[in-house]
Structure 1
Amino acid sequence: MRVLSGINRGPDLAVRVASAADRAAGLPPVLLVHGMGGDHTTWRRLEGTLTGAGREVIAVDLRGHGRSGRADRYRLNDFRDDLAAVLDALDVPAVDAVGHSLGAHSVLRLAMAQPERVRRAVVEEPPPMPRDAADLAEAITPTSTLRERVRGLGVLLADPRPFLRFDRSMPEVVGLQFEQADPAWWEGLRAVAAPTLVISGGDRSFLPPRHLRSLAQALPDGEFVTIEAGHSVHREAPAAFVESVVGHLSRPR
């Protein structure tokens, strides 16, 4: 792991860069962004597949997660700006990007603000901003259901470090931001230039698939797929997830 200090006037950010032995010519690195409560280690299987296929991988620990420092604030745009600052610090002009949950939402915000920096994107279970009172009434926030917590218990027992390092003041702060209607966020999706695959975990997830389908339809070049696995598709259905990601990222721009 490499720790980047003093970037974006925020906390230290931990980054793992994995290079391929035979790097594929003409393709940018792949940026991997975990969900809330996780860290870069959640991507081990995908990272190995990507580097084996000749892709350089940049896996970030978001602020308040893993080996990155805790912060005095956790605004949604802070996570976005941290990703941009990491790419600046590594002198990487553009990436393919894969994100899960909060990380997927952050990838979308980066692609909205700096569309030239994201060539292709895969967003797994990205929580959308509420559009109106009807969305707010559903109380959809990027937290986990009891079922998801039980499924994650095995992962926690196998490696408790991500949980122990996680700033547990964050979920409430982040959750409150998803309790504000933000139709402008949906309008902003029109700025995303990257062909984007939206992966839903299906009816086993707390995020209703219809909202993620709407998100894919709102993107200029969005594609929607369902893998019935719950919120953590990459963990519960790794083979199908990796196949979808590699297939999408291997297409020409």
Structure 2
Amino acid sequence: MRAGLIERGLRRAMNVVGYRSRHLDTSIGPMHVIDREGGGALPPVVVVHGLGSSAVHFVPLLRRLAPHAQRVVAIDLPGHGFSTRLDALDQDVLRAGVLEALDQLELPPAIVVGNSLGGAATVRYTSQRPDRVLGTVLLAPAGAPMTPEELQALRDTFAIRTHAEAVAFLHRLLARPPGWTKHVVAVGVRRTFSDPVLQSWLSEL
């Protein structure tokens, strides 16, 4: 689930407008974070993305939050975006990467926002570092109990083999899918969800 051309372009653009992109050394390899100082008095905000996504996808949200918060941060989960490439993905690796990276940032108690897989990571981080978390915002968090049928439906959702399936996924995912550019985005979606590490992890859920 390496960063593609879109993610690389977004990272260049965000560097221009004052965001810092850097890597933090952890026991599982380099973890990528984006951060900048905010202009407000509210607590720092940390955003943790979902499965197959990347921190750079949340820069528009960070830009809206930055005027109000002391600091805004987004982290790439292990095996995602610009964080370390993995041969296999599991809960212990996710937990270690997020925990060690956020510990190094030495933030005051923060609001942690987690989406999908990032929601599950947020819950685990909060249970391990309750003194570092002022509050959480969970957006469709992963980790809820599922029946075998529901679990298979989840796997089928991410079994994206063709361009048409990638476009259909975008329409399902986004309230306002992009116009013609959705075909460009769909190329990246198909590449991301055909990653053998991701598919292997889904098959073992």
Calculate the TM-score normalised by the size of structure 1: 0.57
- Where does 1:127-206 land on structure 2 (aligned, <5 Å)? 127-130=142-145, 135-139=147-151, 141=154, 143-144=157-158, 147-150=168-171, 154=181, 157=184, 168-178=195-205
**Matched residue, 2:15:** none
Distance in 1 (alpha carbons) for counterparts of 2:183 and 2:77: 18
**Matched residue, 1:77:** 92
Distance in 1 (alpha carbons) for counterparts of 2:199 and 2:191: 17
**Matched residue, 2:56:** 41
Match of 2:137 among 115, 122, 125: 122
Answer whether contact 2:31 2:84 (CA < 8 A) is retained: yes
Distance in 1 (alpha carbons) for counterparts of 2:55 and 2:171: 21
Answer whether contact 2:77 2:83 (CA < 8 A) is retained: yes
Distance in 2 (alpha carbons) for counterparts of 1:130 and 1:10: 28
Distance in 2 (alpha carbons) for counterparts of 1:3 and 1:166: 24
Letter in 1 for 2:40: R
For the pair 1:23 / 2:50, whether they are aligned, the reply is no
Residues 1:148 and 1:96: Cα distance change in structure 2 (over 3 Å): same
1:112 aligns to what SS in structure 2?
helix
Letter in 2 for 1:28: P
Match of 1:99 among 114, 118, 136: 114
What is the Cα deviation at residue 162 of structure 1? 8.1
Q: Percent identity among equivalent residues?
A: 26
Answer whether contact 1:65 1:167 (CA < 8 A) is retained: no
Gaps of 5+ in 1: 179-253
For the pair 1:4 / 2:24, whether they are aligned, the reply is yes
2:136 aligns to what SS in structure 1?
strand
Letter in 2 for 1:172: Q
What is the Cα deviation at residue 129 of structure 1? 4.0
Q: In angstroms, what is the RMSD of aligned CA positions?
A: 3.0
Calculate the TM-score normalised by the size of structure 2: 0.69
What is the Cα deviation at residue 76 of structure 1? 1.7
